[in-house]
Amino acid sequence: MSTKSVITTAFVAGALASALSAGSAFVTATGAAAADQEKCYGVALKGQNDCAAGAHSCQGQSTMDFDPDSFKLVPAGTCLSMDMGKPSLKPMNG
């Protein structure tokens, strides 16, 4: 194996290890953040939902403000006290 091949292999291995460790840190942070949030239906503005049920399947696809079947992730315990739309912890039409 040439010196160039050894250096290239070492570089690729290092890059892969960095990517994997960064990815696991992201998953851990995302999981922790999700535990501190709840799905709040009926409060997302058009195109600003985090995910949904019904006519579309995911982020940014709601076609109307305060869609009762689309949710926005909000800090846990705050959904029902929101002063916009009709906040609900469950889809209203599903």
Report pLDDT digits (tens) over 5-36.
545 554 444 554 555 455 444 444 455 556 79
The percent of residues above 90 in pLDDT, for the chain, comes to: 31
Average pLDDT over residues 38-60: 84
Q: For 48-85, b where at least 16 C-beta lie within 10 A, e where not — what string?
A: ebbbbbeebeeeeebeeebbbbbbbbbeeeebeeeeeb
State the average pLDDT over residues 38-46: 93
Q: CA 21: distance to chain centroid?
A: 20
Q: Where are the domains of the chain?
A: 1-35, 38-94
> Predicted confidence band at 38 (pLDDT cuts at 50, 70, 90)?
very high
Higher pLDDT, residue 78 or 53: 78
